[in-house]
């Protein structure tokens, strides 16, 4: 693919915590309009990579270019403008505990889109409904919600500004299978309609088989292999073989074609 | 796709049936304008009106929700056939999810006077419940303490010593400095007032009495309330928010024994020690002022202390320290257990712990002062 189709270009990323090296010379691309699944064992640095890309952590070496710009070298204003095009769903939701769900989603709409409070709360309600939350939850505080509902509300907030790039950190973990399938479909629909690029960290094999265009495997401190699922699954690495051809991988593969062919 | 015209919704009544013309980019950037337009339009057309979406530019979820609300289910089904597949899917997804959405009705504003009374009532109720809870919690601590006192092999010395370091040793410098300064200030005040009577020598008695009986223990307790009660609440509160307290319970352990007892014991040991440090430093502060500006040399200061001040004043001061320590630790821990899971709640309860423990310390000190005075101690 040509470079102007690349929305995120990470080159030579190194991340170290004291003696522990998490990433070494890691390269990764995210193309416009694709859903990239990022997989790897626990502790392989998936979330750290996400934090490095969105600029929450400055990598110890290497460069991340987002829409062709290096986030670290931008001024505050420009940086904020780029960050507005991100939607991030954190692993634990990271909803603001002092605000209701509606206020959580309305906050970026008021601050960045310049909507009035009424308009913003109305639109926030739409986003919450889109993420699959009932109206009754809208005025509740995050404390009184289940883990699955927090995930949905966090997705609604990530989608608030209709971002260009959506970062999802284990979005379907803790959702029931029906909810997880609906979640997958929602991401697909949004991607098709809005041309979203999605950076998706997940352990959910069904999600991987159903919606991802490419898969990047994080292992041995770098991206071991990146490509379409069929290609990646053929890689000789023993971890990849165990991952995609273990009992769960086989089950997901068998279930996938039925849904996969629809797209 | 280039925007064909500025985003708009217009009603064309020249044709029959009336036709809603949707044009331009229906995106978040134009949300406020578009929402106003469509709200004013919605009353103007009948059920038979058709919609023309051929001029529609880009569409995002914000625009799709407006369109869905404007057009309704049937018209949407009829007119979306002309749209690209992706936009149609988006409109349908948004429509199905917002179909039943309406803004929840807010409760009407009530009479301000009634609300004021209600709040006062709530506050009184909370005060009563808090008092009961504190007494109950103190009982639970004492009960656990008594049970464990008979089983020395189950005493947990490591956390106790760690907490003594945090609450006692680490606080010693600030306690010493503060009481030294207050001691000096009291001596200055005494000197100013007593000089009029030619009785500056009684400055020694003033400093010694006030510090031994009241100031040392009160200042230390207030410092501990600010420093330690808040720390206890924050520590236990964030454990509560993280479900760690629940984990302790399900492991068959007792959070009172594991978390509260070491803290209470540590403060019971360190507060009296700090009080003693505070007494010494306060009197040193007084002695320095006496030596430098009142011509009372330290040797004379000491001999006056020996002859004028009975040992019961020291005891009256020290005996209050364990009571203050127990209450401060109990309030700090109890507020930690009351935290309900959010970061905001940790903050609110920390504030409450500090306010409550300072309040309780001062009230108890006033009651004790009355008691000791009546007893003639």
Number of domains in chain A: 1
SS (HEC) of chain A: CCHHHEEEEEEEEEEEECCEEEEEEEEEEEECCCEEEEEECCCCCHHHHHHHHHCCCCCCEEEEEECCEEHHHCCHHHHHHHHCCEEEECCCCCCCCCCCHHHHHHHHHHHCCCCCHHHHHHHHHHHHHHCCCCHHHCCCCHHHCCHHHHHHHHHHHHCCCCCCEEEEECCCCCCCHHHHHHHHHHHHHHHHHHCCEEEEECCCHHHHHHHCCEEEEEECCEEEEEECHHHHHCCCCHHHHHHHHCHHHHHHHHHHHHHHCCC
For residue B319, the model assigns a pLDDT of: 94
Put simply, the answer to whether A142 touches B94 (Cβ < 8 Å) is no
How far off is chain B from A261, nearest CA to CA, in Å?
Answer: 17
How far off is chain A from B341, nearest CA to CA, in Å?
Answer: 6
Confidence (pTM): 0.72
For residue B76, the model assigns a pLDDT of: 74
Q: How far apart (Å, rounded) are the C-alpha atoms in residues B289 and B277?
A: 19
- Residue A231 phi/psi, 5-degree rounding, is -70, -50
Q: Select the residue from B30, B62, B92 to test the A interface by mutation, using most A Cβ atoms within 10 A.
A: B62
Question: Cα-Cα-Cα-Cα dihedral of A104, A106, A108, A113, to 10°?
Answer: 180
Question: Cα-Cα-Cα-Cα dihedral of B207, B213, B219, B222, to 10°?
Answer: -160
B188 pLDDT above the threshold of 70: yes
Put simply, the answer to whether A194 touches B90 (Cβ < 8 Å) is yes
Q: Is residue A125 part of a domain?
A: yes
Put simply, the answer to whether A98 touches B98 (Cβ < 8 Å) is no
Confidence of residue B176 (pLDDT cuts 50, 70, 90): very high
What is the number of other CB atoms lying within 10 angstroms of the CB of residue B347? 15
Question: Cα-Cα-Cα-Cα dihedral of A114, A115, A121, A124, to 10°?
Answer: -70
For residue B166, the model assigns a pLDDT of: 93
B23 pLDDT above the threshold of 90: no
For residue B184, the model assigns a pLDDT of: 95
Q: Is residue A98 part of a domain?
A: yes
Within 8 A of A129 by CB-CB distance, chain B residues are 97-98, 101
Within 8 A of A122 by CB-CB distance, chain B residues are 35, 103
Q: Is residue A188 part of a domain?
A: no
Within 8 A of B237 by CB-CB distance, chain A residues are none
Spatial contact of A250 and A205, defined as CB atoms under 8 Å apart: no
Mean residue pLDDT across chain B: 87
Q: How far apart are the first and last CA of chain B?
A: 92
Q: How far apart are the first and last CA of chain A?
A: 21
**Is B61 an 8 Å CB contact of chain A?**
yes
Q: Is residue A231 part of a domain?
A: no
Q: Is residue A238 part of a domain?
A: no
- Residue B251 phi/psi, 5-degree rounding, is -80, 5
Sheet holding A86-89, edge to edge: A86-89, A165-169, A197-201, A35-40, A214-219, A222-227
How far off is chain A from B241, nearest CA to CA, in Å?
Answer: 9
For residue B141, the model assigns a pLDDT of: 94
Confidence of residue B105 (pLDDT cuts 50, 70, 90): low
For residue B253, the model assigns a pLDDT of: 86
For residue B106, the model assigns a pLDDT of: 60
Spatial contact of B325 and B275, defined as CB atoms under 8 Å apart: no
Q: Which of B31, B61, B100 sits opposite A159 (nearest CB)?
A: B61
Tens-digit pLDDT profile for residues B297-334: 999 999 999 898 889 999 999 999 999 999 999 999 99
Tens-digit pLDDT profile for residues B228-274: 999 999 999 999 988 888 888 888 888 998 899 999 999 999 999 99
Spatial contact of A109 and B60, defined as CB atoms under 8 Å apart: no
Q: Is A25 left (phi over 0), alpha (psi -120 to 50) or beta?
A: left
What is the number of other CB atoms lying within 10 angstroms of the CB of residue B304? 18
**Is A186 an 8 Å CB contact of chain B?**
yes
Percent residues over pLDDT 70 in chain B = 95
Within 8 A of B106 by CB-CB distance, chain A residues are none
> Which residue in the block uniquely carries the two structure tokens 């990271």?
A94
Confidence of residue B24 (pLDDT cuts 50, 70, 90): confident
For residue A263, the model assigns a pLDDT of: 41
**Is B1 an 8 Å CB contact of chain A?**
no
> Which residues does B14 contact at the CB level (< 8 Å), separation at least 6?
none
Quick one: which of B188, B232, B167, B225 has its CA closest to B365?
B225
Q: How far apart (Å, rounded) are the C-alpha atoms in residues A209 and A188?
A: 13
Q: Is residue A148 part of a domain?
A: yes
Put simply, the answer to whether A194 touches B101 (Cβ < 8 Å) is no
Put simply, the answer to whether A192 touches B86 (Cβ < 8 Å) is yes
Put simply, the answer to whether A126 touches B61 (Cβ < 8 Å) is yes
Range B216-239 average pLDDT? 94
Higher pLDDT, B179 or A138: B179
B104 pLDDT above the threshold of 60: no
Confidence of residue B5 (pLDDT cuts 50, 70, 90): low
- For B344, which residue in chain A has the nearest alpha carbon? A98
The domains found in chain B, sorted by start residue, are 8-98 (3.30.750.24), 128-375 (no CATH)
For residue B14, the model assigns a pLDDT of: 75
Q: What residue numbers bound the domain in which A136 lies?
A: 94-162
Within 8 A of A193 by CB-CB distance, chain B residues are 59-60, 64, 86-87, 89-90
For residue B1, the model assigns a pLDDT of: 43
Q: Which of B31, B90, B94 sits opposite A119 (nearest CB)?
A: B31
Higher pLDDT, B209 or B107: B209
ipTM exceeds 0.95, yes or no: no
For residue B362, the model assigns a pLDDT of: 96
For residue A5, the model assigns a pLDDT of: 84
The Cα-based distances of A157 to A123, A198, A252, B60, B372 in angstroms read 11, 15, 30, 15, 62
Q: How far apart (Å, rounded) are the C-alpha atoms in residues A121 and B35?
A: 13
Confidence of residue B3 (pLDDT cuts 50, 70, 90): very low
Put simply, the answer to whether B98 touches A97 (Cβ < 8 Å) is no
For residue B272, the model assigns a pLDDT of: 96
For residue B107, the model assigns a pLDDT of: 64
Range B134-163 average pLDDT? 90
Low-confidence spans in chain A with pLDDT less than 50:
1-2, 258-263
Tokens describing residue B280: 């010494």
């Amino acid at each position: 693919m040509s470079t102007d189709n690349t929305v995120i270009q990470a080159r030579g990323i190194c991340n170290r915590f004291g003696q522990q090296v998490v990433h070494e010379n890691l390269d990764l691309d995210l193309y416009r309009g694709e859903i990239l699944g990022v997989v790897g064992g626990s502790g392989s640095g998936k979330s750290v990579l996400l934090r490095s890309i969105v600029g929450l952590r400055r990598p110890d070496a290497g460069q991340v270019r987002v829409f062709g710009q290096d986030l670290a070298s931008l001024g505050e204003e420009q940086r904020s403008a780029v960050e507005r095009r991100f939607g991030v769903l954190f692993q634990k939701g990271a909803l603001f505990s002092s605000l209701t769900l509606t206020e959580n989603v309305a906050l970026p709409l008021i601050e960045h889109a310049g909507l009035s409070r009424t308009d913003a709360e109305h639109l926030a309600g739409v986003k919450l409904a889109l993420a699959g939350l009932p109206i009754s939850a809208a005025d509740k505080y995050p404390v009184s919600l289940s883990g699955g509902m927090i995930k949905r509300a966090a997705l609604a907030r990530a989608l608030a500004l209709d971002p260009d790039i959506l970062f999802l950190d284990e979005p379907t973990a803790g959702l029931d299978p029906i909810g997880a399938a609906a979640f997958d479909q929602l991401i697909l629909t949004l991607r098709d309609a809005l041309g979203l690029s999605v950076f998706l960290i997940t352990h959910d094999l069904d999600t991987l088989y159903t919606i991802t265009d490419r898969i990047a495997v994080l292992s041995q401190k770098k991206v071991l292999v990146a490509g379409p699922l069929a290609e990646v699954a053929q890689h000789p690495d023993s971890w990849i073989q165990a991952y995609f051809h273990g009992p769960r991988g086989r089950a997901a593969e068998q279930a996938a074609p039925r849904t996969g062919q629809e797209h | 796709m280039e925007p064909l015209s500025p985003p708009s919704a217009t009603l064309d009544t020249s044709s029959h049936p009336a036709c809603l013309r949707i044009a331009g980019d229906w995106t978040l950037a134009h949300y406020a304008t578009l929402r106003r337009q469509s709200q004013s339009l919605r009353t103007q057309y009948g059920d038979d009106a058709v919609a023309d979406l051929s001029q529609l530019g880009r569409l995002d979820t914000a625009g799709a929700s407006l369109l869905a609300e404007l057009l309704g289910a049937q018209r949407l089904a009829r007119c979306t056939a002309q749209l690209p597949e992706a936009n149609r899917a988006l409109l349908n997804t948004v429509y199905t999810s917002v179909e039943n959405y309406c803004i929840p009705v807010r409760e009407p504003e009530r009479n301000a006077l009634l609300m004021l009374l209600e709040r006062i009532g709530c506050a009184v109720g909370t005060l009563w419940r808090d008092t009961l809870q504190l007494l109950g919690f103190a009982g639970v601590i004492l009960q656990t303490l008594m049970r464990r006192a008979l089983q020395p092999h189950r005493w947990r010395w490591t956390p106790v010593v760690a907490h003594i370091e945090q609450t006692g040793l680490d606080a010693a410098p600030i306690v010493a400095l503060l009481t030294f300064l207050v001691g000096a200030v009291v001596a200055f005040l005494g000197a100013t007032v007593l000089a009029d009577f030619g009785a500056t020598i009684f400055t020694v008695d003033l400093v010694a009495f006030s510090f031994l009986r009241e100031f040392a223990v009160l200042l230390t307790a207030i410092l501990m309330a600010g420093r330690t009660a808040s720390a206890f609440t924050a520590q236990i509160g964030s454990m509560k928010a993280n479900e760690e307290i629940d984990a302790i319970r399900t492991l068959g352990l007792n959070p009172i024994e594991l978390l509260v007892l070491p803290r209470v014991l540590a403060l019971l040991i360190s507060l009296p020690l700090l009080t003693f440090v505070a007494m010494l430093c306060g009197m040193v502060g007084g002695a320095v002022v006496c030596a430098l500006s009142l011509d009372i040399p330290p040797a004379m200061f000491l001999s006056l202390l020996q002859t004028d001040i009975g040992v019961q004043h020291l005891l009256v001061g020290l005996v209050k320290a364990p009571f203050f320590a127990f209450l401060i630790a109990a309030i700090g821990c109890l507020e930690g257990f009351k935290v309900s899971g959010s970061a905001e709640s940790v903050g609110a309860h920390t504030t409450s712990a500090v306010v409550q423990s300072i309040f309780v310390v001062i009230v108890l000190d006033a009651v004790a002062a009355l008691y000791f005075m009546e007893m003639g101690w």
